[in-house]
Structure 1
Amino acid sequence: MRKFKFDGKKYGYDLAMDLHPLDGRPADYFEHQLHTIDFFEIMFLKNSTGHININGFNAALKPFTILCSSPNQRKTNAILEVEGYHLVFKDDFFADFFLDKLFVYKLHFFYNAIHPQFFQIDQTEYNIIADSLELITKEIENFREDSRHIIRSLLYFVLTRLNRQYSDFYDIGLSTYTDSMVYSFKDLLEKNIRTLHLVNDYANLLNIERSTLNRLVKKQFGATTKEMIQHRLLIEIKNELVFTTKSVSEIANDLNFSEPNNLSRFFQRLSGISPLDYRSNSKMI
């Protein structure tokens, strides 16, 4: 499986991000086959058509669609009639640029185990965001001593605006800057989902009571800690079923299930279909 890596030497100065228009780029600019990336990515698609799959969620593209991908997530792009913008940045970009290592977890459209990482906005909102993106591209092209400050402020505006739109689109709580503990939980969830599946596991890592973690997570994400863990684990299993040839037994072993039957029961209960039927149906799409 191909993995795209961030090009940090493109401009000759260290910026850890890039933004450029997609207009006029051929369809084969996008990788149709299964692939991953080692950076964060947002595509602002104005009138593109086609289909995409990000982290197990499929969709046909509609006008004014925003696509968001996180490092190491499996995805495919079958995008036609490309028009819009392409934003990429490294995983440590927020920590260095915004001086906040948890900022990425405050954005609901990254590392979301319950909702897809794509959504639509209206034309007015798209134009507002596109104006800022155009200003950022001009700063990158004509980089000066104070360009970082301008890029930082514009990008902060764009990402915060997107977070509001995403929250409204999926009707989830917007409260982005509450207790940082919930973002530490999301960080730990991404790093440990293949081995840790219990609420107590994460409460212990965070050194807080299980009830406290449940209260904070429910307030922030509208789901219980158990639901967050289970949905994220379900995505991991689906990716293994669709994008590998591993047996259910091998997947169960890799994801720390005590036996294959436990994985099968878990999968059936949450998805309403057996793992093998899901794999078979996915190959027919």
Structure 2
Amino acid sequence: MKTINFHKTECGVDFFINILNQDTINYLQTDVHNTDYFEVVFFSKAEGTVHINDTKINIHDNSIVFISAFQKRAWKINQDGLEFKTLIFREDFLNEFFADKFFTHKMLFFYQLNHELLLNVSDSEMKRFNEFLVEIKTELVHTKKDSVHIIRSILYYLLQTINRRYASANDLMIEKDDKNYAVQYKSLLEKHICQKKNIEDYTVLLNISRITLNKAVKEQYNVTATELLKQRLLAEIKDRLVYSNKTVSEISFDLNYAEPGHMMRFFKMQTGMTTSEYLESLSTV
């Protein structure tokens, strides 16, 4: 599987941020691939689908699609009349750019496990978002001494505005402060899910009680801390089953299970299918 990397020189920019369109990026390829950067794709005119990991998303006019780094995707987009702009960025750069190590985790549409990675907006909203993207692209291409400040302010406003719309559409709460335990917990899951599968592991890392963690996660994401952990672990197992070419035993070892049967029982409880049945179901889609 191909991984596409962000190269500043090839992109002709000085930052690990860029704005691309149908002339500079190809969303007609159907092969499964991933990237080392995040993508927010603003489809003004489009008809088709994208598979992100094991989820199929239908794309229409005025659709925004959110893809986190290293998520597997395969596009099936009709090229007739296709119009879009894509915001791409490296996570480490963006977190440093905004001086907030949890910034991407505070965007509810990234690392999302419980809601569709899609937001449908109005014509007027899409037009407004595209105007912001054009401004950012202009500053990237024609960089001046104050360009970094202009890019930072426009990009921050754009992402926060979309985050607010996504939260409203999915009945989610915007994070309340920089010490939000739910956001920190979500970040820790991304780092440690292969080794740590118990809530207590994370309460120790956060130095809080299980009750405090569960309350924060429930308020932020409308699920319990345990449910969020199970969702992330299930996503990791599915990803490895489909893309790693490893056996169930090898995957269970990589995920620190004492024996394969424990992982297989967890998978059956969460999906209602065995791992073999799950893989077979994908072949019929």
TM-score with structure 1 setting the length: 0.92
Q: Which range moves more in the overlay, 13-22 or 220-229?
A: 13-22
- For residues 1-285 of structure 1, the aligned pairs below 5 Å read 1-10=1-10, 14-22=14-22, 24=23, 28=26, 30-81=28-79, 82-175=82-175, 177=177, 179-285=179-285
Change (3 A) 1:255 1:93: same
Does the 8 Å CA contact 2:11/2:18 hold for their aligned counterparts?
no
Shift of 1:129: 1.1
Counterpart residue type for residue 70 of structure 1? S
What do the CA deviations read for 1:156-208 (whole angstroms, capped 9, x no partner)? Answer: 11101111121122222234546333222111100111121111111111222
Q: Percent identity?
A: 33
| Number of equivalent positions | 283
- Once the two structures are superposed, residues 127-178 of structure 1 have per-residue CA deviations (whole angstroms, 9 ceiling, x without a partner) of 2211111211222222211111111111111101111121122222234546
Secondary structure of residue in 2 paired with 1:253: helix
Partner SS for 1:9: helix
In the alignment, residue 14 of structure 1 is paired with which amino acid? D
Q: Any conservation in 2 of the 1:188–1:202 contact (CA below 8 Å)?
A: yes
Gaps of 5+ in 1: none
Deviation per CA, 1:95-127, whole angstroms, max 9, x where unpaired? 321111111111001111222322222222212
TM-fit CA distance, 1:31: 3.8
Give the Å deviation of 1:11: 6.2
Q: TM-score scaled to structure 2, two decimals?
A: 0.92
Taking a change above 3 Å as real, the CA distance of residues 12 and 242 of structure 1, as seen in their structure-2 partners, is: closer
Q: Distance in 1 between matches of 2:164 and 2:53?
A: 22
User: In the aligned structure 2, how far is the partner of 1:11 from the partner of 1:203?
Assistant: 42
Cα distance in structure 2, aligned partners of 1:49 and 1:256? 42
Report if the CA contact (8 A) 1:36-1:72 is conserved: yes
1:176/1:129 Cα in 2 relative to 1: closer, same or farther (>3 Å)?
Answer: farther
CA-based RMSD of the aligned residues comes to 1.9
DSSP-derived class of the 2:268 partner: helix
**Structure 1, residues 202-230: CA drift from partner, whole Å, max 9, x if none?**
11112222221111111111111100000
Pairwise CA distance, 1:13: 5.7
Q: Distance in 1 between matches of 2:256 and 2:64?
A: 34
Given that residues 106 and 177 in structure 1 are in contact (C-alpha distance below 8 angstroms), is that contact kept between their aligned partners in structure 2?
no
Contiguous gaps of at least 5 residues in structure 2 = none
How many angstroms apart in 2 are the aligned matches of 1:66 and 1:50? 13
Distance 2:258 2:118 in 1: 34
1:106 and 1:176 in contact (8 A); partners too: no
**3-state SS of paired residue (1:92):** helix
TM-superposed CA distance for 1:7, in Å, is 1.1
1:66 is paired with a residue whose SS is strand
Amino acid at match of 2:70: N
Q: 1:131 and 1:72, CA in 2 relative to 1: closer, same or farther beyond 3 A?
A: same
Letter in 2 for 1:119: L
Contact 2:14 2:140 in 1 (8 A): no
Runs of 4+ in 1 over 6 A off after TM superposition: none
